[in-house]
Structure 1
């Protein structure tokens, strides 16, 4: 393997002898995906992110909002990887992956350097937006005490827990279910060329922004930012967007939205559906809108021959969403944590 050029300015502090840091390119994707998989297996027992996710983040449509650094040892093996993603105004997503095969002293030192680099990258992103401060938002799998220790050492605090839930698709899901009273569920309209109707996309964005305004850690996202981020997902599909409307005397008012994506296996084959967003306006809650949207994605997954539908839910959600999911067969498959640190932009 050809050694990468040294980039010591990317990592504050010293690396072990003959280790180097560089900005990854498409050529680094296989090694970074292997590193991420090793980390996920060690942290929660199995890998979940696919190779196309890594490719999109590093060298594909998702790269524009992200800054990366990869650290390789003297033999050229990728041992560490950090990412700072400009997620929304005032919020930077930070991901630090350290090879679990490293001893704790070496791994801890590398993690510290990567978190310090990510802070610098996040501050630069906030400065580009003209902000005086920003939130660094990172995370860990619940069983991963090692990552949690490193987050705490880097000044982060555990602020939230999330349940990653999944439900298998069954034969019963093939039949469409009745919606809540006065509720109509429809797919986002498509124009003659196959592209989605612009007004429907704006309606989805508006509903979700309003629905999540009172949720934990919501940061307003512009329509363009929202659309670009979702389209960068390798599993993005325009025919996985739904609107819920309340219909009164023929007039339809958008009150809920669900955006899903296709879940891919390591060979790029579609195996499931993932609910990226499910939001209902406060004024329409309690009328069966969320359940009707979930029924729509389950029926769609059954029609496509998929094995299951997955989603994430806030363990402390005030809306009772987790109870709804459990009532229709969703079960927690693993648990993640959010860790935050607020930084002032100098």
Structure 2
């Protein structure tokens, strides 16, 4: 299953750098246009992964044909202990036989890198986590052939935002006893560390009953989110419950980011994480956090808020998102393979 064909003699393989970013972006956008229907990849995101903040935790392989055209690109992201995220992009303009060979070569390289990272982490088994658009049978066929199993579907949802939603009275106030605030921060300095740890703790705890939850240290969590070119500290919120004579109790958190517009579109906001402790669910905490990020997007002149949700979410989150105005724009899939490292 893991044998890979040799590349044509005039093809080259390399670890890409800044000089390859433009070609990688073109390749990725060609893939997105064919597999989903439209491109959305940004130069900033590719730069971050290849030669920016995200490069330290990622390994890349770029394949070029004899004419120097970028035809394939694989990325292996050391996401957490015993988990790597695999991305394989193959030029949709290749003929079917050549595309199959390129995919096999890249997936085998990714397997080798995943095993190497697992050994560095000192684990015996690591999870290779990859994905595909729901309407991309070619990628799904390759994943199946390399031993991956389709595990989950994810709704990629979006909600339009109007300028009026930035007004103070655009949304009802938070539920009784619920306080929503930004993480504490002075000027352009780092936010209060206690608040950041609160966000991390809430998300770690609230996601324990979610699919494929992996424990992530505080330092790894903050470092990973800061790699994102859309990262902004003033997009992090905490929800608290008032208590008589006591300090309010943190029970919810939302981490947002900037979603850059493409092809002349305005920017949007994106919900990276939204978590509410089980004991506080049903009190309007999640809805209040969503209202906060929508209102913030409106005040910033943005036209949408996006998020991803497990189609089989155990918390019933999909119903809440639809009630707040989100609709599914497209669907992606998670594919996993457990890889013995020894």
TM-score grouping bracket, smaller chain normalisation: over 0.9
Asked if structure 2 preserves the Cα contact closer than 8 Å seen for 1:262 and 1:270, the reply is no
Asked if structure 1 preserves the Cα contact closer than 8 Å seen for 2:255 and 2:272, the reply is yes
How many angstroms apart in 2 are the aligned matches of 1:332 and 1:130?
40
Equivalent residue for 1:257? 253
How many angstroms apart in 1 are the aligned matches of 2:247 and 2:309?
32
Equivalent residue for 1:211? 206
How many angstroms apart in 2 are the aligned matches of 1:266 and 1:163?
21
Which range moved further: 260-269 or 107-116?
260-269
How many angstroms apart in 1 are the aligned matches of 2:174 and 2:328?
26
CA RMSD of aligned residues (A): 1.5
How many angstroms apart in 1 are the aligned matches of 2:129 and 2:282?
32
Asked if structure 1 preserves the Cα contact closer than 8 Å seen for 2:100 and 2:142, the reply is yes
Asked if structure 1 preserves the Cα contact closer than 8 Å seen for 2:124 and 2:340, the reply is yes
Unaligned runs of 5+ in 2: none
Asked if structure 1 preserves the Cα contact closer than 8 Å seen for 2:163 and 2:301, the reply is no
- Could you state the TM-score of these two structures normalised by the residue count of structure 2? 0.96
Asked if structure 1 preserves the Cα contact closer than 8 Å seen for 2:40 and 2:262, the reply is no
1:111-168 alpha-carbon deviations (Å, 9 max, x no partner): 0110110011111111111111100000000000000001101110100000000000
Equivalent residue for 1:49? 41
How many angstroms apart in 2 are the aligned matches of 1:193 and 1:317?
36
- How do 1:178-217 residues align onto structure 2 when only pairs under 5 Å count? 178-191=173-186, 194-217=189-212
Unaligned runs of 5+ in 1: 1-10
1:289-335 alpha-carbon deviations (Å, 9 max, x no partner): 00000000001001111000000000000111010000111010010
Change in CA separation of 1:270 and 1:237 when aligned onto 2, cut-off 3 Å? farther
Change in CA separation of 1:309 and 1:193 when aligned onto 2, cut-off 3 Å? closer
Deviation at 1:82, TM superposition (A): 0.2
Equivalent residue for 1:153? 145
Q: How many residues align?
A: 336
Equivalent residue for 1:287? 283
Change in CA separation of 1:269 and 1:168 when aligned onto 2, cut-off 3 Å? closer
Deviation at 1:24, TM superposition (A): 0.5
How many angstroms apart in 1 are the aligned matches of 2:275 and 2:78?
23
Decide which of 230, 234, 240 is 1:239's aligned counterpart. 234
Change in CA separation of 1:291 and 1:109 when aligned onto 2, cut-off 3 Å? same
2:111 alignment partner, SS class: helix
Deviation at 1:170, TM superposition (A): 1.9
